[in-house]
């Protein structure tokens, strides 16, 4: 198929950036979206032009690196998939496709479609862990049975890939879904309960410092999240936060 691509080009953080138009031809439905961009880039290089910068690594939906806003949707059409799992068979001949980077104050553009998401790491550094040192002498793993239902819920929350689609989708650019996924995972497990209060207070505090917006419960994040992280996690985090604030620090 032949397509018209409208792509955000921005040389660096300082540059203002603009949309540019590129035609691509002979795209097969079996190609992934990123392979289609590979074709474009190969063409640009051969024409002596600068290829389009975009983030990607695993190309199988798990590293969270890819991050494109395609036709107004984070990770494009299709539910519970990342950009790299999107295949061209979702488009048809003659389509025009708009491709933009994640847009959020906390995610400045590095170049073209690449943004800086290190704010998410800093939220994690503030409390997204269990304070246990490495030692060969932690208790045997089976000494702490975890009810399967809790283990499964914790697992579901833990599958967040830290892509930031939730932030990019939210009209307030809130990072609540991301933060609540980690808070929930650890709050649901006995190992994480000990520090649950400090964790939620510190992570939420850092989230605010980074300039992410407030959550107004529109639920858009859940719809676009490639891993189906549920809004229940936000509710759980709010409960945790409330109880931590009430008990004091």
Partner 1 sequence: MSLDAKIPAGPIDKKWTNHKNNIKLVNPANKRSIDIIVVGTGLAGGSAAASLAEMGYNVKAFCFQDSPRRAHSIAAQGGINAAKNYQNDGDSTYRLFYDTVKGGDYRSREANVYRLAEVSASIIDQCVAQGVPFAREYGGMLDNRSFGGVQVSRTFYAKGQTGQQLLLGAYSAMSRQIGKGKITMYNRHEMMDLVKVDGKARGIIARNLITGEIERHSAHAVVIASGGYGNVFFLSTNAMGSNTSAAWKVHKKGAYFANPCYTQIHPTCIPVSGDHQSKLTLMSESLRNDGRIWVPKKKEDAEAIRAGKLKPTQLAEEDRDYYLERRYPAFGNLVPRDVASRAAKERCDAGFGVNATGEAVYLDFASAIQRYGKEQALVHGHDSNDKALVTKLGKEVIKSKYGNLFQMYEKIVDQNPYETPMMIYPAVHYTMGGIWVDYNLMTTIPGCYAAGEANFSDHGANRLGASALMQGLADGYFVLPYTIGDYLADDIRTGEISTDLPEFEAAEKEVKDRLAFFINNKGTKSVDYFHKRLGKVMWNKVGMARNAKGLSEAIVEIREIRDEFWKDVRVPGELNEFNQELEKASRLADFLELGELFAMDALQRNESCGGHFREESVETSGEQEGEAKRDDANFAFVAAWEYTGNIAESKMHKEELKFENIELKQRSYK
Q: Which H or E run includes 21?
A: strand 18-24
Interface residue with partner 1 among 6, 59, 98, 103 (CB under 8 A) is 59
The footprint of ligand FES on residues 65-104 (CB under 6 A) is 65-66, 82-84
Residues in contact with 133: Cβ distance below 8 Å, sequence separation at least 6, in sequence order: none
Distance between CA atoms of residues 158 and 238, nearest Å: 18
Return the SS3 of 3.
strand
Taking CB within 5 to 8 Å according to partner kind, which of partner 1, ligand FES, ligand SF4, none is near residue 66?
ligand FES
Q: Which is nearer to partner 1, 170 or 188 (CB)?
A: 188
Of 21, 2, 27, the residue nearest 94 (C-alpha): 2
Region binding partner 1 by CB under 8 A among candidate stretches 17-25, 36-44, 91-99, 172-180 = 36-44
Distance between CA atoms of residues 40 and 45, nearest Å: 9
Q: Which is nearer to partner 1, 155 or 245 (CB)?
A: 155
Q: Which is nearer to partner 1, 51 or 238 (CB)?
A: 51
Across the strands, what pairs with 109?
115
Interface residue with partner 1 among 68, 161, 215, 244 (CB under 8 A) is 161
Question: Can residue 102 be called a binding residue for ligand SF4 (CB under 6 A)?
Answer: no
Across the strands, what pairs with 87?
32
Distance between CA atoms of residues 194 and 215, nearest Å: 27
Region binding partner 1 by CB under 8 A among candidate stretches 92-100, 170-178, 184-192, 213-221 = 184-192
Question: Can residue 81 be called a binding residue for partner 1 (CB under 8 A)?
Answer: yes
Beta carbon of residue 196, minimum distance to partner 1 (angstroms, whole number): 11
Taking CB within 5 to 8 Å according to partner kind, which of partner 1, ligand SF4, ligand FES, none is near residue 70?
none
Taking CB within 5 to 8 Å according to partner kind, which of ligand SF4, partner 1, ligand FES, none is near residue 213?
none
CA dist list (Å): 8 to 20, 97, 100, 114, 159: 6, 11, 5, 10, 30
The b/e string for 160-171 (b: 16+ C-beta within 10 A; e otherwise) is bbbbbbbbbbbe
Question: Can residue 242 be called a binding residue for partner 1 (CB under 8 A)?
Answer: no
Binding mask 207-236 for ligand SF4 (x = CB under 6 A): ------------------xxx-x-------
Distance between CA atoms of residues 131 and 136, nearest Å: 15
The footprint of ligand SF4 on residues 144-203 (CB under 6 A) is 160-166, 177-178, 181
Q: What residues make contact with ligand FES under the rule CB under 6 A?
A: 56-59, 61-66, 82-84
């Amino acid at each position: 198929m032949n397509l018209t691509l409208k792509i955000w080009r921005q040389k660096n953080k300082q540059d203002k950036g603009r949309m540019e138009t590129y035609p691509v031809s002979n795209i097969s439905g079996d190609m992934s979206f990123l392979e289609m961009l590979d074709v474009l880039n190969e063409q640009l290089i051969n024409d002596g032009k600068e290829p389009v910068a975009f983030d990607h690594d695993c190309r199988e939906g798990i590293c969270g690196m890819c991050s494109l806003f395609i036709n107004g949707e984070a990770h494009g059409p299709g539910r519970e998939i990342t950009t790299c799992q999107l295949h061209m068979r979702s488009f048809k001949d003659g389509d025009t496709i708009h491709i933009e980077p994640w847009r959020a104050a906390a995610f400045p553009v590095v170049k073209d479609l690449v943004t800086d998401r290190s704010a998410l790491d800093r939220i994690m550094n503030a409390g997204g862990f269990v304070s246990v040192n490495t030692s060969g002498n932690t208790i045997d793993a089976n000494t702490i049975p975890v009810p399967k239902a809790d283990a499964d819920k914790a697992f579901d929350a833990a599958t967040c890939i830290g892509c930031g689609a939730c932030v990019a989708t939210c009209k307030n650019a809130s990072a609540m879904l991301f933060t609540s996924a980690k808070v929930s995972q650890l709050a649901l497990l006995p190992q994480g309960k000990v520090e649950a209060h400090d964790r939620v207070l510190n992570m939420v505090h850092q989230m605010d410092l980074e300039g992410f917006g407030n959550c107004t419960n529109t639920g858009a994040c859940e719809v676009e999240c490639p891993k189906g992280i549920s809004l229940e996690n936000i509710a759980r985090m709010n409960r945790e936060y409330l109880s931590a604030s009430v008990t004091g620090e």
